[in-house]
Amino acid sequence: RGRLLSFHRRPEDLSDTASYLYEEDGGLLIEGGRITACGAFADIRAEAPEDVAIVDHRPHLILPGLIDTHLHFPQMQVIGSYAANLLEWLNTYTFVEEQRFSDPAHGARIAVSFFDEMIRQGTTTAVAYCSVHKASADAYFAEAQRRNMLMLGGKVMMDRNAPDALTDTPQTSYDDTRAVIAEWHGKGRNHVVISPRFAITSTPEQMEMAATLAREFPDLHIQTHLSENLAEIEFACSLYPKAKDYTDIYAHYGLLRENMLLGHAIHLSERERDALSETGAVAVHCPTSNLFLGSGLFPLKEFERRDRPVRIAVATDIGGGTSYSMLKTMDEAYKIQQLRGERLTPLESFFHMTRGNAEALGLADRIGTLEPGTDADIVVLDARATPAMALKMEAASTLAEELFLLQTLGDDRAIAETYIAGRPAKSAI
């Protein structure tokens, strides 16, 4: 029982009340890990079994669990590393730290912290890069299954421009990815993602292997990085001189498709934007990372407004990103649009964190809403979590104001509870 909020589609503006369901005294009926009814509390109470256990979350908001569409599992100890730009940050810290994940015990230890942190932040689904080592993917998916979370992830493919201890070969990257798929895809709620890191760290021979995997597994997601930093773009294009531009490198190998996630995608030409639009590939906005590494200001509104719109998602990009919180992530996304002279309403932000990201993943029939039949992955938000928030809430009179306050001042303290498949998970940590 609580105040329910679930989106039907992206809100046009703050007055677009038809874009979402809001129930002031609402109820969700949960059975077997699924939502079986959603509506006014009195109606749900009437149709529920007599002996049903009622959890009263009033006056908090009940939303679908938050979704993070791009982050790096082996970068929990990279977060907040001081560097001038992406390539310096990768070489100085990231490619050093990720080597530790050759040790299965290290991966297993970090996985516990990683999933605890997701739950503490209200993130119920995430799409992660593991390290190049198959053992890191094993650690990630084993912990996801233990927690019964719907998680996506993949063993990173990278065979050049990184230390020897962090590279595979075209053949081993193919074999190990096949093995991860065989062992983990569909186990529990796990989804394996084909994960060539980016054009700079894959030879054309390895890209061919990624292309083969993509053909063999058309239903699997693919993830990589695209057009994050100007020096990166120049380096990538120099390694693939026949490509028209950075996007064309991936297009050449047939990787652009609806279930393809392109991290960052900041500095794209019109031609590249058209290529994403035509194929349905998703540009993933990573605001805290783009600010931290000085990468650039993602043109979110331009992507949405085009005649041929580019699909977008939002993400933390830990450890280039600086917060695990999707609330903080959208706070920074808002500020980036401010600098671009654009508006990002709080309704849109909460749409993107939930249903928007679920749609980008093609999983809106399972997660991202409170609709009956979907998985009971749920977050409970407390807009009075801190004294400063409680004081500001006295001056807030609309739902949009409350959401904007949660986004602007909220963090893990505002996550009153996180439910995974119907079970309280945050209070159980």
Residues at the contact surface with Fe ion, assessed by CB under 5 A: 263, 317
User: Could you tell which of ligand GUN, Fe ion, none binds residue 314, using a CB distance below 5 to 8 A set by kind?
Assistant: none
CB of 263 to Fe ion, least distance (A): 5
Chain-centroid distance, C-alpha 424: 21
Shortest Å distance, C-beta 73 to ligand GUN: 11
Beta partners for 30? Answer: 35
**One residue of 131, 177, 289, 337 binding ligand GUN per CB under 6 A:** 289
Number of H helices, E strands in the chain: 17, 16
- Please pick, from the candidates 20, 41, 198, 419, the single residue that binds ligand GUN as defined by CB under 6 A: 198
d(Cα 169, Cα 414) in Å, to the nearest integer? 45
User: In angstroms, rounded to a whole number, what is the distance separating the alpha carbons of residues 399 and 328?
Assistant: 18
- The smaller minimum CB distance to Fe ion, of residues 94 and 337, is found at 94
- Please identify, using beta-carbon distances, which residue of 3 and 72 lies nearer to ligand GUN: 72
Contact 18, 410 (CB under 8 A): no
Q: Identify what 228 binds: Fe ion, ligand GUN, none; CB under 5 to 8 Å per kind.
A: ligand GUN
- Type of residue numbered 70: H
CB 92, min distance to ligand GUN, A: 12
How far apart are the C-alpha atoms of 126 and 150, rounded to whole Å? 8
Greatest CA separation found in the chain?
Answer: 69
Supply φ then ψ for residue 271, to 5 degrees: -60, -45
Burial class (CB in 10 A: 0-12, 13-18, 19+), 398: exposed
| CA distances from residue 183 to 135, 156, 413 in whole angstroms, order as listed | 12, 16, 36
The verdict on 72 binding ligand GUN (CB under 6 A) reads yes
State in angstroms the smallest separation of the CB of 228 from Fe ion: 8
* Residue 86 near which of Fe ion, ligand GUN, none (CB within 5-8 Å, type-dependent): ligand GUN
Phi, psi of 129 (to 5 degrees): -90, 130
Question: By C-beta, is 318 or 399 nearer to Fe ion?
Answer: 318
Nearer to ligand GUN, 288 or 418 (CB): 288
- Whether 272 and 227 have beta carbons less than 8 Å apart is answered as yes
DSSP string, 199-227: GGG--HHHHHHHHHHHHH-TTSEEEEEES
SS3 354: helix
Q: In the bound complex, what is the minimum distance in angstroms from residue 388's beta carbon to Fe ion?
A: 32
Structure tokens at 340: 């671009």
Which one of Fe ion, ligand GUN, none is in contact with 273 (Cβ closer than 5 to 8 A by kind)? none
Residue placing its CB nearer to ligand GUN in the complex, 158 or 399: 158
Dihedrals phi, psi of 152, to nearest 5 degrees: -115, 150
Stretch that binds ligand GUN, among 30-38, 86-94, 214-222, 247-255 (CB under 6 A): 86-94
292 to 321: interface string for ligand GUN, x by CB under 6 A: -------------------------x--x-
Residue 392: name its binding partner from ligand GUN, Fe ion, none (Cβ under 5 to 8 Å by kind): none
Q: Cβ of residue 106: shortest distance to ligand GUN, in angstroms?
A: 18
**Which pairing describes strands 66-72 and 61-64: parallel, antiparallel, or unpaired?**
unpaired
Q: Residue 223 interacts with ligand GUN (CB under 6 A)?
A: no
Residue 175 near residue 216, CB atoms below 8 Å: no
- Can residue 225 be called a binding residue for ligand GUN (CB under 6 A)? yes
26 makes contact with ligand GUN (CB under 6 A): no
Cα–Cα dist 194/190, whole Å: 13
What x-and-dash track marks residues 87-116 binding ligand GUN by CB under 6 A? ---x---x----------------------
Q: Which is nearer to Fe ion, 321 or 422 (CB)?
A: 321
Nearer Cβ to ligand GUN, position 117 or 371? 117
Q: Is residue 197 a contact point for ligand GUN (CB under 6 A)? A: yes
Residue type at 92 in one-letter notation: T
Cα separations in angstroms, 311 against 28, 228, 307 = 30, 17, 12
| Site residues for ligand GUN per CB under 6 A | 72, 86, 90, 94, 197-198, 225, 228, 289, 317, 320
